[in-house]
């Protein structure tokens, strides 16, 4: 095309001029691209997850919170507007029955948006997607939308650890019409339409893999659609089954000769039998038990389909609203365990905030720092630099060594309260455990808060002395109350600032576009706001 233009030009001088001009434009373009990427490092972005109680419920409290964020150079407040029990924190016209108690008569979100924008801070509205409460409005009104396990019960029948009840009901991401199109997407739309939020934020955008990775969803809809998704039988001539010709010596190598893999009596099977076939069946008789591959594929597909649908609704609005997501640290493992293959979502997610929290790493603090750098670098590779990654760091979990003794002592106190007074052997065991846990924190506490240590030391002494014989209901209660006060209002320095600073530095080694901190309420309890102000100084 350039040649055509040149041929038409009459004088040689003009040709030289045009060539010079082309060269100039190319050089300018080249240098401006280089300028943006290499010469001038991009500003590191800072996000902070915040729960409404950490922000406050009066305009003054909200302004004070925003001021604090400004001092810490927070660019984006990721504010919870739909919690894990299904409660919402905006003045919803469509879902007034879901508004959280205490937020009915006050425009919390509107006030926060106004105050944040006045300070140049963006608001990202954070919704917990598929997790709901057993008493939440969605499950109350539509129990048929809940995910079911092979026994036909919801996630509320699961246990956390050995005994703790799991107080959540997860909703089915696949069913249509259902929770996704009748409840969740309309909620996102209402927030993005009625409030000047800058972005909306996915959380719990997955299956409930932390309690039961292989048990959901086997609701009636999914039992019908998992085989349909993989087309494990035909709709035409559904009753016919064909004999596979085992032409290849390796059993699974005969897979392609017949896709009617659903048992002929599928329709007569009950929920448990169907789930058992989906999880443990064989695609080729005599081959490996590989049917569950299609279960995982289906779940990934359902989550991805929802992410895509939400984006199409949000991007149809008459103003630009971005979409961000809190995701598990490794999208490849997550795709198998929770259907969260998030590196495949780059067309529909503008910013990723992987929760690369220490709670997802089993080793020491030092090993976490190395693994945080390594994992963040991999996350950037996984999304192929297509979208920004904000490294998600949770302050509380950094302090495993400092928190474990406090948590352990509180648990032992509770156990001791439930022991019969004459069970001296087990009371002595608990008293010894309390003493040992306290020994782990005593010197550090004495360093940062000598008075608190003296007070606490005396209460520990009263409970543990004489092999636990001093542990009366009164001494146990006083110790429990003091421990609870300590946990809720940690002395400055008990959580060493260096740990947070070093974690942020470790994430920075991978050059993520931003850092996201979890969460505002903890920063206050843990006295870490000043540390964040220093770490995020520009």
DSSP for residue 180: I
Closest CA to 46 of 68, 83, 78: 78
Please write down the long-range contacts of 471-477, taking CB distance under 8 Å and 24 or more positions apart.
471/416, 471/427, 471/430, 471/431, 473/417, 476/413, 476/416, 476/417
Give the nearer residue to Zn ion in terms of CB position, either 292 or 410. 292
Instruction: Check residue 171 for interaction with Zn ion (CB under 5 A).
Output: no
d(CA 287, CA 315): 46
Min CB(147)–Zn ion separation in Å: 6
CB atoms within 10 A of CB 64: 13
Give the nearer residue to Zn ion in terms of CB position, either 49 or 306. 306
Min CB(58)–Zn ion separation in Å: 42
Give the nearer residue to Zn ion in terms of CB position, either 126 or 179. 179
Give the nearer residue to Zn ion in terms of CB position, either 217 or 244. 217
Give the nearer residue to Zn ion in terms of CB position, either 172 or 389. 172
Give the nearer residue to Zn ion in terms of CB position, either 144 or 505. 144
Cis geometry, peptide bond prior to residue 115 (ω within 30 degrees of 0) = no
Q: What is the 3-state secondary structure (H, E, C) of 45-100?
A: EEEEEECHHHHCCCHHHHHHHHHHHHHCCCCEEEEEEECCCCCECCCCCCCHHHEC
**Could you say which residues in the range 197-226 bind Zn ion, by CB under 5 A?**
217, 219, 221-222
Min CB(233)–Zn ion separation in Å: 19
CB atoms within 10 A of CB 362: 9
d(CA 137, CA 157): 19
Burial degree of 180 (CB within 10 A; 0-12, 13-18, 19+): buried
Give the nearer residue to Zn ion in terms of CB position, either 110 or 152. 152
Min CB(208)–Zn ion separation in Å: 12
Give the nearer residue to Zn ion in terms of CB position, either 255 or 337. 337
Give the nearer residue to Zn ion in terms of CB position, either 218 or 494. 218
Give the nearer residue to Zn ion in terms of CB position, either 167 or 220. 220
Min CB(479)–Zn ion separation in Å: 47
Task: Look up residue 271 and give its two tokens.
Answer: 């929920």
d(CA 401, CA 393): 17
One residue of 121, 172, 307, 471 binding Zn ion per CB under 5 A: 172
Min CB(206)–Zn ion separation in Å: 14
Min CB(441)–Zn ion separation in Å: 46
With CB under 5 A, what is the number of residues at the site for Zn ion? 6
d(CA 516, CA 110): 23
In the stretch 219-258, what mask flags binding to Zn ion with x, by CB under 5 A?
x-xx------------------------------------
| E strands in 369-452 | 390-394
End-to-end Cα distance, the chain: 48
What is the enclosing helix (H) or strand (E) of 426? Answer: helix 424-448
Min CB(322)–Zn ion separation in Å: 29
Min CB(308)–Zn ion separation in Å: 18
Min CB(171)–Zn ion separation in Å: 9
Task: Look up residue 308 and give its two tokens.
Answer: 């895509």
Closest CA to 124 of 36, 188, 28, 53: 188
> Which residues make up the interface to Zn ion (CB under 5 A)?
172, 174, 217, 219, 221-222
């Amino acid at each position: 095309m350039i040649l055509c233009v040149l041929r038409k030009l009459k004088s040689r001088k003009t040709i030289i001029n045009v060539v010079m001009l082309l060269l100039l434009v190319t050089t300018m373009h080249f240098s401006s691209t280089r300028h943006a990427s290499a010469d001038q490092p991009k500003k590191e972005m800072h996000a902070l997850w915040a729960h409404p109680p950490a922000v406050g419920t009066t305009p003054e409290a909200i302004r004070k919170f925003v001021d604090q964020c400004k001092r810490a150079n927070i660019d984006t407040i990721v504010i919870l507007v739909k919690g894990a029990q299904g409660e919402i924190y905006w003045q919803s016209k469509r879902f007034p029955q879901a508004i959280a108690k205490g937020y009915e008569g006050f425009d919390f979100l509107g006030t926060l948006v106004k105050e944040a924008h006045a300070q140049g801070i963006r608001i990202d509205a954070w919704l917990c997607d598929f997790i709901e409460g057993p008493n939440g409005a969605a499950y109350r009104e539509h129990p048929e939308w809940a995910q079911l396990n092979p026994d036909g019960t919801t996630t509320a029948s699961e246990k956390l650890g050995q005994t703790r009840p799991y107080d959540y009901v997860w909703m089915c991401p696949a069913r249509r019409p259902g929770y996704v199109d009748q409840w969740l997407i309309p909620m996102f739309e209402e927030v993005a339409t009625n409030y000047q939020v800058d972005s909306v934020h996915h959380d719990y955008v997955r299956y409930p893999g932390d309690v039961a990775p292989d048990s959901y969803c086997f609701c009636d809809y999914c039992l019908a659609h998992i085989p349909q998704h993989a087309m494990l039988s035909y709709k035409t001539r559904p009753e016919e089954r064909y004999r596979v010709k085992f032409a290849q010596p390796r059993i699974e190598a005969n897979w392609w000769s017949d896709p009617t893999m659903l048992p002929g009596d599928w329709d007569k099977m009950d929920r448990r039998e169907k789930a058992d076939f989906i999880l443990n069946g064989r695609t080729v008789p005599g081959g490996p038990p590989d049917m569950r591959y299609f279960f995982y594929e289906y779940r990934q597909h359902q989550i991805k389909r929802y992410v895509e649908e939400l984006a199409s609704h949000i991007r149809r609005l008459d103003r630009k609203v971005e979409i961000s997501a809190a995701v598990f640290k490794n999208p490849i493992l997550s795709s198998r365990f929770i259907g969260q293959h998030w590196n495949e979502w780059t067309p529909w997610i503008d910013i990723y905030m992987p929760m690369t929290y220490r709670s997802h790493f089993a080793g020491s603090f030092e090993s976490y720092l190395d693994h945080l750098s390594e994992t963040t670098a991999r996350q950037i590779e996984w999304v192929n630099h297509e979208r920004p990654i904000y490294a998600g760091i949770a302050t509380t979990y950094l302090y495993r060594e400092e928190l474990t003794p406090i948590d352990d002592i509180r648990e032992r106190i509770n156990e001791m309260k439930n022991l019969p007074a004459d069970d001296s052997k087990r009371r002595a065991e608990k008293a010894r455990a309390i003493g040992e846990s306290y020994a782990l924190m005593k010197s550090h506490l004495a360093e940062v808060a000598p008075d608190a240590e003296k007070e606490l030391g005396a209460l520990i002494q009263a409970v543990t002395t004489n092999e636990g014989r001093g542990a009366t209901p009164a001494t146990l209660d006083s110790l429990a109350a003091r421990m609870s006060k300590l946990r809720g209002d940690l002395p400055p320095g008990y959580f060493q600032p260096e740990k947070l600073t070093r974690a942020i530095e470790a994430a920075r080694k991978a050059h993520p576009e931003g850092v996201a901190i979890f969460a505002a309420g903890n920063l206050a309890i843990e006295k870490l706001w000043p540390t964040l102000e220093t770490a995020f100084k520009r």
